[in-house]
Amino acid sequence: TEPCLDGWVYNSTRDTIVTEWDLVCNSNKMKEMAQSVFMAGILIGGLVLGDLSDRFGRRPILTSSYLLLAASSSGAAFSPTLPVYMVFRFLCGFGISGITLSTIILIVEWLPTRMRALMTTAVGYCYTIGQFLLPGLAYAIPQWRWLQLTVSIPFFIFFLSSWWTPESIRWLVLSGKSSKALKILRRVAAFNGKKEEGQRLSLEELKLNLQKEISSAKAKYTAADLFRIPVLRRMTFCLSLAWFATGFAYYSLAMGVEEFGVNIYLLQIIFGGVDVPAKFITILSLSYMGRHTTEAAALLLAGGAILTLTFVPSDMQTLKTALAVFGKGCLSSSFSCLFLYTSELYPTVIRQTGMGASNMWTRVGSMLAPLVKITGEVQPIIPNVIYGTIALLGGSAALFLPETLNRPLPETIKDLEKWSLWAKKPKQEPEAEKASQVIPLQPYGPGLGSS
């Protein structure tokens, strides 16, 4: 074939990267390349920033990630060429990874167990709200550069507000920065109306109460320890498979929306809307049934729904759509659960490193999902069989993970090794969990702060 020497004419009044850089015909694959570069940024960001967070703290990584995302997203709006645009998109993904992981870790390390499920799921609703807002913004702003710049501006505000985010007390104490931890605890006590009690706290008291954790945390850990230490290796394998299965199956459904015979815009709204009840059910399940059961059930149900799609006749579009929406809701639940579950399983000394390494696999899954879809050209049922089977394997792997509901966060590797896989979870918060949340302030009354 002969290329169009005089360029292309588009029948759309909307300005996109496709129309600006002519990503059609032989250049059509560059659209997917731009998205893959973005996903690669998230993947690598999880590995790099997870390790840096365990070394330098949660708040510095959160603040710098907000700035990186704001700057790179704005830079993408002014990109003169496609390669430059891809570089900025990679940096956007890098920053998003740091924001997501640091936010979840700070929530887990600051809040008591009864509040974690609610708050981590509430963070997930931010993604859902974005799904509803972005189509409206895209409709109102037809030029992609202005749209890109518009969605970038809020992150400069988030960057400024993140300076008021307190550092994790757990990380400060285990990093030998007890004086700074004491100052933050006093600030928290004052914020909670317990200023006088907070002022009575002493550094000696703080160190005495956390003597065991401080002495156990002298050893430094890296990503290699996730595979070197047996208990971490087993846990990392199971979590990685669950993360991979969730991302792999989630993006398989996202890519197949055009196959259900329903208006694509309506289906996108339905796909976004199912997150609302799915996440609400997740909150209840996490709080009463536990993390272990919720994660396994979410992936097993999603896998079953995807496999069932294989046997539904093509003329039964309503049933196919219902199964796809149900599966998407289950996978959304799995995402919400995994963020909380993973951060509760890894000890403080290596929590964000483990979180980043495990979360990385959902990006690998999302990048491999389009390749598996190509196998449908050989036999149409192959992709869904693979997607569904992997989801079932991920759910099965979750069954081998210990329950964390109503258990104190593990501070060290030894804490994790003491956990029994099939130990029954207590019906109420155990004293150890309560103590781990208020121990520095315990002599002067509970509820002044949670570390």
Q: Which domains does the chain have, with CATH numbers?
A: 17-167+220-398 (1.20.1250.20), 176-216+429-451 (no CATH)
Please classify residue 278 by burial: count the beta carbons closer than 10 Å to its beta carbon, then call 0-12 exposed, 13-18 middle and 19+ buried: buried
Lowest mean pLDDT among 25-29, 238-242, 328-332, 405-409: 25-29
User: Rounded mean pLDDT of 396-408?
Assistant: 89
Write down the pLDDT at residue 432.
47
Q: Give the whole-number percent of the chain exceeding pLDDT 90.
A: 21
- Rounded to two decimals, the pTM is 0.72
Asked if pLDDT for residue 234 goes beyond 60, the answer is yes
User: Rounded mean pLDDT of 335-344?
Assistant: 89
pLDDT tier for residue 219 given thresholds of 50, 70 and 90: low
pLDDT tier for residue 264 given thresholds of 50, 70 and 90: low
Compute how many other C-beta atoms are within 10 angstroms of the C-beta atom of residue 112. Answer: 14
Write down the pLDDT at residue 444.
38
432 close to 376: Cβ distance less than 8 angstroms: no
pLDDT tier for residue 211 given thresholds of 50, 70 and 90: low
413 close to 226: Cβ distance less than 8 angstroms: no
Asked if pLDDT for residue 48 goes beyond 80, the answer is yes
Residue 195 has which token pair?
């200023």
Report CA-CA distances (Å) from 435 to 3, 28, 201, 442, 445: 71, 58, 16, 8, 11
pLDDT tier for residue 446 given thresholds of 50, 70 and 90: very low
Query: Across the chain, what does the average pLDDT equal?
Result: 79
Interhelix angle 275-288/317-345, nearest 10 degrees: 40
Cα–Cα distance for residue pair 407/176, rounded to 1 Å: 24
